[in-house]
Amino acid sequence: MNSSTFLPPLPEGAERSVVVGRSPGFHLKPPPAPAALRDVITSDAQLFETIHMGSVDVDAKRWRLQVDGLVRRPFSIDLDGLRRLPSVSITAFHECFGSPLVPADDNLWRVGNVRWTGVPLAVLLEHAQLETGATHVWSDGLDSGEFGGRKMNRYRKDLPISKALSHEVLVAYEMNGAPLTRERGGPVRLVVPGWFGTNMTKWLCRLSVQGRRANSPFTTVWYNRDSEHEGKVIRGPVWAVEPNSMITHPAPGDTISADDVKVKGWAWSNNGISSLALSTDGAATWQLAKVRPRREFEWQQFAATLPLPRSPGPVSIIARARDADGSIQPLSGTRNAAHSVQIDRLLPGSKTA
Ligand SMILES: Nc1nc2c(c(=O)[nH]1)N[C@H]1C(S)=C(S)[C@@H](COP(=O)(O)O)O[C@H]1N2
Ligand SMILES: [Mo]
């Protein structure tokens, strides 16, 4: 390792001087319909984008990441330095929680599966040497502007130390083998496999080790939700992804004249999908699909051949995943509600409407 890889820390706030342009305003590139997401690796063109306050142009030559806070050896590192450190690649599903301003009661399918390359965050934290009392790593993005009626001078998120030190969390500079584009958060972003996209700070400029949760509207006001634990409602951060799935074959409206239909799709969750059940009779009976074992943090393909009713007409196929903890997708009313696809059952020889 070259001795100039780790540079002295920058003066307070100086890491923010590399912004050379901004496109203000909320930006959403919607995902294609589930039936169009048939490749195991989602291309950059097919992958959704979510940007709250506007994207930024970063001067990558002058860019530096500052690592400071409750550490014995604060430092900064530039892009060449980061690229000199041993790199790691990990394939992971990538899912947006949805807008924090509206109720999360519908499945939006803002999801894909991509390969990230970069340096494990743990390597940078080991070099910095954590002080006692370190509980969270705050991550800052270079974007600023307005969202949800508030003005902010940065995007800021946090990770608990346990996740920050896990082998999968990366300070990433490539997606699918290519440098991160401007909209993806280039030159460098945080990647937190298994957790919602909101935690993956783009245009990363600072990692600060702290002894409490971050003081940003993106952690205090937005991206928290209620869940029930032993009869009590607990408000907690939008971190780990719950089980979810989508049917990619058949597509809605497909006409099927065979006696059975081949169903395929993707299922994912933070701790992996253990089974996926399919129904063609409105959730009265279920048939288990074959589910590919999880590799890294990838989404998992499921496949099954389902018999179809003898009579012609519309048939709804419902898919429902269960994860390694036994948590199961609800049938409706939540952001991870079960997907259903309606096809048209024809009898051989009959005509399409
Ligand atoms: N700096 C910054 N990072 C950010 C955001 C943002 O607005 N600013 N959006 C977050 C959200 S909500 C999601 S879902 C992911 C989306 O990443 P993508 O646009 O590359 O798919 O980036 C996250 N990182
Ligand atoms: Mo998101």
Domain membership flag for residue 145:
yes
Ligand nearest to the CA of 180: 1
Domain count, the chain: 2
Domain membership flag for residue 51:
yes
Domain membership flag for residue 126:
yes
Cα distance between residue 321 and residue 327, in whole Å = 8
Query: Which amino acid would we find at residue 194?
Result: G
Residue 279 domain boundaries: 244-345
Ligand nearest to the CA of 51: 1
Closest C-alpha residue for ligand 1 atom 18: 49
Ligand nearest to the CA of 201: 1
Residues 38 and 133 placed together within one structural domain of the fold? yes
Cα distance between residue 117 and residue 229, in whole Å = 36
Widest CA span of the chain, in angstroms?
Answer: 77
Cα distance between residue 268 and residue 276, in whole Å = 10
Which of 237, 266, 281 is the C-terminal boundary of a domain?
Answer: 237
Domain membership flag for residue 281:
yes
Closest C-alpha residue for ligand 1 atom 9: 51
Average pLDDT over residues 305-320: 96
Give the global pTM. 0.97
Closest C-alpha residue for ligand 1 atom 12: 198
149-168 confidence digits (pLDDT tens): 999 999 999 999 999 999 99
- pLDDT at 1 > cutoff 90: no
Residues 24 and 138 placed together within one structural domain of the fold? yes
Ligand 1 geometric centre to CA of 200 (Å): 6
Q: How many CA atoms lie within 13 A of 120 on its CB side?
A: 14
Report the phi/psi class of residue 123: left, alpha or beta, with left for phi > 0 and alpha for psi in -120 to 50. alpha
CATH number of residue 271's parent domain? 2.60.40.650
Cα distance between residue 199 and residue 93, in whole Å = 14
Neighbours of 192 (CB within 10 A): 26
What is the per-residue DSSP string for 39-53?
SSSPPTTTS-EEESS
At residue 126 the predicted structure's pLDDT band, cuts being 50, 70 and 90, is very high
232-278 confidence digits (pLDDT tens): 999 999 999 999 999 999 999 999 999 999 999 999 999 999 999 99
Q: The sheet that has 136-141: what strands, in order across it?
A: 75-78, 64-69, 204-210, 136-141, 155-160
Q: Which residue has the tokens 């049938």?
A: 331
Residues 187 and 264 placed together within one structural domain of the fold? no
Cα distance between residue 172 and residue 190, in whole Å = 6
pLDDT cut 70: percent of the chain above it: 98
177-230 confidence digits (pLDDT tens): 999 999 999 999 999 999 999 999 999 999 999 999 999 999 999 999 998 888
Among 100-104, 197-201, 206-210, 282-286, the range scoring the smallest mean pLDDT is 100-104
Cα distance between residue 89 and residue 111, in whole Å = 19
- pLDDT at 44 > cutoff 80: yes
Residues 44 and 94 placed together within one structural domain of the fold? yes
Q: What 8-state DSSP symbol labels residue 71?
A: B
46-91 confidence digits (pLDDT tens): 999 999 999 999 999 999 999 999 999 999 999 999 999 999 999 9
Ligand 2 geometric centre to CA of 226 (Å): 18
Phi, psi of 28 (to 5 degrees): -130, 120
Q: Which residue has the tokens 């490539």?
A: 174
Which of 216, 237, 258 is the C-terminal boundary of a domain?
Answer: 237
Residues 228 and 255 placed together within one structural domain of the fold? no
Q: What is the pLDDT of residue 352?
A: 54
Closest C-alpha residue for ligand 1 atom 5: 51
Ligand 1 geometric centre to CA of 337 (Å): 23
Separation in Å, CA 35 to CA 1, 46, 64 = 46, 12, 41
Q: What is the pLDDT of residue 190?
A: 98
Domain membership flag for residue 10:
yes
CB-based contact 95:242 (threshold 8 Å) = no
Instruction: Please state the atom number of ligand 1 nearest to the C-alpha of residue 95.
Output: 14
Rounded to the nearest integer, the mean pLDDT of the chain is: 96
Instruction: Please state the atom number of ligand 1 nearest to the C-alpha of residue 50.
Output: 19
CB-based contact 100:176 (threshold 8 Å) = no
Residues with CB under 6 A from ligand 1: 47-52, 94, 96, 141, 143, 155, 184-185, 197-198, 200-203
Length of the chain: 353
The residues with which 232 forms a beta bridge, in sequence order, are: 229
Helix, strand or coil, per DSSP, at residue 34: helix
At residue 348 the predicted structure's pLDDT band, cuts being 50, 70 and 90, is confident
Closest C-alpha residue for ligand 1 atom 15: 197
Domain membership flag for residue 350:
no
CA-based torsion, 126, 127, 133, 139: positive or negative: negative
CATH number of residue 184's parent domain? 3.90.420.10
Domain membership flag for residue 351:
no
